[in-house]
Amino acid sequence: MQIKAASATEFLLKLGTVEQIKRRAQEDPQPQRPIVFNSHIHLPPNFSAFETVQQAVDLAARQGVTILGVGNYYDFSVYQAFVQAARSRGIFPLFGTEIIALDTDLQQRGIRVNDPGNPGKYYICGKGISRFERFSKRAAERMNAICRNDALRMRQMTAKLAEAFSRCGVETGLNEGAIIARVVRRHGCDPKTVVLQERHLCQAFQEVFFEKVGSGQRRDKLSALFGVAPKADVEDAVGIQNEIRSALMKAGRVCFVSERFVSPVQARELIADLGGISCYPVLADGAGQRCEYETPVKTLIEALNADGYTAAELIPVRNQPEVLSEYVTAIRRAGIAVVAGTEHNTPDVLPMEPACVKGRPIPEPVKAIFREGACVLAAHQFLCAHGETGFADAGGPAEERIDAFRKIGIAVLNRYFDTSS
């Protein structure tokens, strides 16, 4: 769905002309403020750790983040409010999206990409998108098809969940409309902007279950529902939500409904239509055993180059510092820009500045690569908003391109902070 409010990207046009920014970049500017980055969070009404956009931005500001990227699924109406909140706190806003795709050949061969439980299933990010307020014809058709397929799956899965709870003596009264209404009440959003996700369903069914079933009866009811005793404490709302998802909604479970995906090529075409950079999210050791597509790193890099990826992203909270360093340094050495985020797509309100597993710090050489990548995204977003060629299509040797966009990005950021201070 497209934004009908004032332009979210207008601030980029007011930073100055491309010639002015490039002139500043030629002076090899230094950042006026520390580059503290987070390239990927989800904002409500996507399932998110946050109740409001302002809450997310305020937390980022308190923790010193100066560049914050959002990567919502399939609806960008919230991006206008994101810009307003970010500008009020002196944070540079990056726009993005996330698309789920399927490579049927990899699926048939049993090769896991960056979803550890589903061979062939991809998560692909679009970074620095700038044409999300007025879709091209192809983008509109593809986005509408994705949203229709997603909505149908959520509707069918909701019905299956309601039946499963009913068989265990719990009449939830939940359907698609009721769950959307709960999201609207929680976040104060327009129902047309709600893209239901599995976690929305889990949260709604858990909440109604807790409302209708006292704590003394919950273990027996959940044991009947899951077929095994719950592992989480029956007072742990988030834990029970996670178990509803794993016990009932995953492939092979009673409430599972298969998904209809676009292909990776179609996903990358959609990202290009939105003016973004196709960015591969690297899981690495984020799920224990590494996925075949990503192992070894050399093979992953060959695949990324073959598919034309010029950027990659990691969510370091999933990774050990040693593994993070292994992947990031190798990918960057191959001429691919690398960024890092936190997602915040679960109820856990983690720190806004990325860190590794258990809060272990990101090694400084890796942080430097992430800072560079954040500047590249800022430059791409600025240039594309002005109708100029973006990072993926700029051409030339990779190192020269990355360095040029880094400098432009710093000039964009310095100008932004001058005008927002």
The verdict on 353 and 401 lying in the same domain is yes
Report the share of the chain in percent with pLDDT over 70.
98
The whole-number average pLDDT for the span 119-142 is 95
The verdict on 366 and 401 lying in the same domain is yes
The verdict on 280 and 365 lying in the same domain is yes
The whole-number average pLDDT for the span 303-308 is 97
For 34: left if phi > 0, alpha if psi spans -120 to 50, otherwise beta; the answer is beta
Is residue 391 predicted with pLDDT exceeding 80?
A: yes
pTM of the predicted model as reported, rounded to 2 decimal places: 0.93
Q: Is residue 3 part of a domain?
A: no
DSSP string, 168-213: TT------HHHHHHHHHHHHT--GGG----HHHHHHHHHHHHHHHS
Q: What is the pLDDT of residues 17-54, one digit of tens each?
A: 999 999 999 987 899 999 999 999 999 999 998 999 99
Number of domains in the chain: 2
Q: Quickly tell me which residue has 């060959």 as its tokens.
A: 302
Nearest residue to 311 (alpha-carbon basis) of 275, 279, 270? 279
The verdict on 197 and 114 lying in the same domain is no
Nearest residue to 162 (alpha-carbon basis) of 234, 243, 244? 244
Is residue 72 predicted with pLDDT exceeding 60?
A: yes
The verdict on 128 and 229 lying in the same domain is no
- Tell me the torsion sign for CA atoms 18, 20, 24, 26: positive
**pLDDT value of position 421:** 57
* Domain CATH for 25: 3.20.20.140
**pLDDT value of position 420:** 76
Q: Is residue 100 part of a domain?
A: yes
Is residue 78 predicted with pLDDT exceeding 80?
A: yes
Average pLDDT, the chain: 95
Q: Is residue 154 part of a domain?
A: yes
Report the 10 Å Cβ neighbour count for 32.
Answer: 14
The whole-number average pLDDT for the span 68-95 is 96
The whole-number average pLDDT for the span 55-67 is 97
Q: What is the pLDDT of residues 95-120, one digit of tens each?
A: 999 999 999 999 999 999 999 988 99
**pLDDT value of position 7:** 87
Q: Is residue 185 part of a domain?
A: yes
The verdict on 308 and 405 lying in the same domain is yes
Q: Is residue 346 part of a domain?
A: yes
The verdict on 70 and 128 lying in the same domain is yes
The verdict on 236 and 319 lying in the same domain is no
Q: Is residue 266 part of a domain?
A: no
> Domain of 217?
143-249
**pLDDT value of position 1:** 41
**pLDDT value of position 287:** 84
**pLDDT value of position 6:** 53
